[in-house]
Structure 1
Amino acid sequence: MELADGGDPAFLDKVEKRLRKAGVRPSASPSKLARALAETAPHRQPASAPAAQPVTASDHVLAYVRAQRDAIVELDPAVRRNAEDSVHSLRVATRRLRSTLKTYGELLDRTVTDPVGDELKWLAGEVGLDRDREVLTARLTAALDEVPATLVRGPVRERLRTWASAEHGGTRGRLIGVLDSRRYLALLDTLDALIADPPLKKAVGKKPHKKIAKAVTRDVRKVAGLVERAVELEPGTDRDVAIHEARKKTKRARYAAEAARPVLGKPAKDLVKTMKALQILLGEHQDSVMARQALRELAAVAHAAGENTFTYGLLHEREEQRAVRVETELPGFWDGIKGGAAGL
């Protein structure tokens, strides 16, 4: 079945539900669109014409911006086809682009780029809902697999499966709705316009190495300060929030260093590795925070149903210990972070 021109995508979803209830299942053969995309992909033209060799600081930043815009456009069909890792890749490209517009505000007028950044934040949030739930479900399932059978009290696995299904329901249709929305299409038009006529600030062509190094160093120093502040806080909600904030700024510093690699060379490459390692460590802490929240919710529902909640408490304790290990390792990153910034 296909949607006629001008049709409402929501109606197509309703028809699909009726067909599924009647026992009809999707064909094993891909759609005409999927076949066309697969057969033409090797010959696909680039989303934008090759730009001239970067010379100025703004040239280098715009080259990175253009690459992320192209990635978003090229990943769109893959996300619609639910290709493996496509949603995650689209969200990363969106975050890279948003971070770059913020970091290099001395080159690109932020009165113009900040509204674009707000729309990119919206898009990243929308496309990431399903991904976040999948990651959390996989973490909880793997943790439960490590618990000896004698310590699994009650229908924990079944309740986790039910919870995951309930969380997952409807997110796929919502994602397609986002990609079909006028807001998303307007964002793509805005990105094209920004690249075609970038809002450059004065003196953007002078000393590209100095200007780009300054922007990256500023972001890295923010990360160092946030990590130091987080470690000084007492364990608890405030520290969790501070570590999460440090994680977000770490991503921004990493993407800034990625954009700077053509100009700064090996120091920027080394900094990318440092920021990535820190991002992974902080991400492990945030995953633990989210896992503990989910476990408390699951335990409350199980308790209300008269079930044994011992296993949820056990898993919660193990997640708390994981977070403690991360917090213990954080001070060791200080010297590496500051040294990486100094090397620029």
Structure 2
Amino acid sequence: MADTKREIERKYESDDSGLPDLTGVAGVAAVIDKGVAHLDATYYDTADGRLAASSITLRRRTGGSDAGWHLKFPVGPGVRDEIRAPLSDAVPRTLAGLVRSRVRDAELVPVVRLRSDRDVRDLTDAAGRLLAEVSVDAVFAERLDGDGGDAQWTEIEVELADGGDPAFLDQVEKRLRRAGVRPSGSASKLARALAETGPRPKKKRKRGPAADAGPVTAGDHVLDCLRAQRDAIVELDPAVRRDIDDSVHALRVATRRMRSAFRSFGTVLDRSVTDPIGEELKWLAGELGVDRDQEVLTERITAALDALPRALVTGPVRTRLRTWTHARRGGSRRRLIAVLDGKRYLELLGALDALIADPPLSKAAAGAPEKVIAKAVRKDLAQVSALVERALDLPPGHDRDVALHEARKRAKRTRYSAEAATAALGDPAVALARSMKALQNLLGDHQDSVMTREALRDLAAQAQAAGESSFTYGVLYGREELRAVRAEEALPGAWSRARAAAAV
């Protein structure tokens, strides 16, 4: 089994003078010599360095107190999540799965070996609690992929204790800087090893003043949007596998944003190429949402039940809700991981890469974004307008509920297209995206009420069939009905504000 540790550390350049005296650091009562550990780590990557390109490290290390496999994902400057697995000869399946969205079908091979003599000190407070571990590492790096040599250096590493205050590292750094120690120019030992043991990269020739320019054409802006969502899907994959909070929802949103871009900017991209990919994205979103929609319903009913006075709760309502939820769950963690490990998903990732590398751009893609993209956003807005006006003309009931649901979906698409257009259109697109989000939230609450009432009818029927009281479900139904009425009453005002912001 793998376990995760949040690693907060800083690295510094060091000469052979060793570690400066740290007894003067605020909060430090003792500097405890923990001796020298001999570490031997082999780093793995694909032949073309896909993990290194994403600042991800995968290593097998012996020696020290944490021998085993370590996989590190960047979280922020100086912060990484380290997932550990027991020592074995081959890359553990759990860790291989976490990098699969980047590695795909490529082989993970040894690329660098680092041997380090680590001289360790513990910084502790007056109560003997560990504040940080400071080490002086004498590193010898050896290239293993047959395309380089070796290198050696010494560095100082300061790692914050679990649960420690990151501000403490600032105090340590002040002391180190006063002693002439400076932050390392490399984010990790592997990054430095790759730079110093490999062939020198050839300097890229600039192709003119526009070489470093941002997006220019309508196609440039759309491709930036697609690239961002492709990258989000790849980056969220390991978070979903690790069951990180909200990661499934975030990945689902990324698939929806890309599908929305295909549809909204159909004059820029060849739909005969993007439509099949859009169908695969729809499939993936459906797999991700197998249990998510049920969870949303259960959370809404539970919150409403918690808000009821105890006198209005009759019968085993919570037990019935748990039984109903369990029976309706169609997915599992194992099933979701199987989808992410499956051939169809990998082929989808490959199709997205191919789309970005060789985009099916139309003639309109070369046009000015102020015209082409603005026209696409206005078209989305016009469709929202037609759907909202139609819904407002219908009497309350099923047909209006369906119309409002369609308007919500189109408002979401318009919001996404406006957000994608922000770089090209500026403040008007920002204002439109904000107003569409407000409209989407209002209509979303209405749709949630529709679905919740259907669920409450189902629950009430099951309760009655079991000889239980259905009174509480009726009370909750009435409250949900009132929420829907209020949402419908608020719609004309929300729509007026949205139209006022629609100056794109």
TM tier, smaller: 0.7 to 0.9
Q: Residues 109 and 325 from structure 1, CA distance in 2 versus in 1: closer, same or farther, beyond 3 angstroms?
A: same
**Residues 1-344 of structure 1: pairs in structure 2 closer than 5 A:** 36-38=71-73, 53-168=214-329, 170-341=331-502, 343-344=503-504
Following superposition, the deviation at residue 152 of structure 1 comes to 0.8
Please list the CA deviations of residues 173-218 of structure 1 after superposition, one character each: whole Å capped at 9, or x if unmatched. 2222221221111111000000000000014222211111000011
Q: Secondary structure at the match of 2:438?
A: helix
Aligned 8 A contact 2:364 2:372 in 1: no
Aligned 8 A contact 1:51 1:63 in 2: no
User: Structure 1 length as normaliser, TM-score?
Assistant: 0.85
Q: Secondary structure at the match of 2:260?
A: helix
Aligned 8 A contact 2:314 2:471 in 1: yes
Letter in 1 for 2:402: V
Q: Secondary structure at the match of 1:161?
A: helix
Following superposition, the deviation at residue 39 of structure 1 comes to 6.6
Between the two proteins, what is the percent identity of the paired residues? 62
Which stretch has the larger CA shift, 293-302 or 160-169? 160-169
Please list the CA deviations of residues 7-33 of structure 1 after superposition, one character each: whole Å capped at 9, or x if unmatched. xxxxxxxxxxxxxxxxxxxxxxxxx88
Letter in 1 for 2:460: A
Aligned 8 A contact 2:229 2:257 in 1: yes
Aligned 8 A contact 1:130 1:172 in 2: no
Aligned 8 A contact 1:258 1:269 in 2: yes
State the alpha-carbon separation in 2 of the partners of residues 173 and 295 from structure 1: 29
Q: Residues 87 and 207 from structure 1, CA distance in 2 versus in 1: closer, same or farther, beyond 3 angstroms?
A: same
State the alpha-carbon separation in 1 of the partners of residues 372 and 497 from structure 2: 22
Which stretch has the larger CA shift, 279-288 or 327-336? 327-336
Of structures 1 and 2, the one scoring higher in RCO (CA 8 A, sep 6+) is: 1
State the alpha-carbon separation in 1 of the partners of residues 248 and 279 from structure 2: 19
Q: Residues 40 and 308 from structure 1, CA distance in 2 versus in 1: closer, same or farther, beyond 3 angstroms?
A: closer
Letter in 1 for 2:300: R
State the alpha-carbon separation in 2 of the partners of residues 190 and 38 from structure 1: 25
- The equivalent of 2:119 in structure 1 is none
Q: Secondary structure at the match of 1:36?
A: strand
Q: Which structure's residues are more often helix, by fraction? A: 1
Which stretch has the larger CA shift, 200-209 or 307-316? 200-209
Count of aligned residue pairs for this structure pair = 311
Gapped regions of structure 1 (runs ≥ 5): 3-31
State the alpha-carbon separation in 1 of the partners of residues 400 and 336 from structure 2: 33
Letter in 2 for 1:161: R
Letter in 2 for 1:36: L
The alignment yields a C-alpha RMSD, in angstroms, of 2.3
State the alpha-carbon separation in 2 of the partners of residues 40 and 270 from structure 1: 31
User: Structure 2 length as normaliser, TM-score?
Assistant: 0.59
Q: Secondary structure at the match of 2:469?
A: coil
Q: Residues 149 and 254 from structure 1, CA distance in 2 versus in 1: closer, same or farther, beyond 3 angstroms?
A: same
Quick check: which has more Rg, 1 or 2?
2
Aligned 8 A contact 1:220 1:337 in 2: no
Q: Secondary structure at the match of 2:365?
A: coil
Following superposition, the deviation at residue 130 of structure 1 comes to 2.0
Letter in 2 for 1:136: L
Q: Residues 218 and 170 from structure 1, CA distance in 2 versus in 1: closer, same or farther, beyond 3 angstroms?
A: closer
Q: Secondary structure at the match of 2:421?
A: helix
Aligned 8 A contact 1:224 1:337 in 2: no
Following superposition, the deviation at residue 43 of structure 1 comes to 7.7
Letter in 2 for 1:238: D
Letter in 2 for 1:233: L
State the alpha-carbon separation in 2 of the partners of residues 150 and 43 from structure 1: 50
Following superposition, the deviation at residue 267 of structure 1 comes to 0.4
Q: Secondary structure at the match of 1:204?
A: helix
Please list the CA deviations of residues 216-261 of structure 1 after superposition, one character each: whole Å capped at 9, or x if unmatched. 0110111111111111112111111111111111110000001100
Which stretch has the larger CA shift, 147-156 or 203-212? 203-212
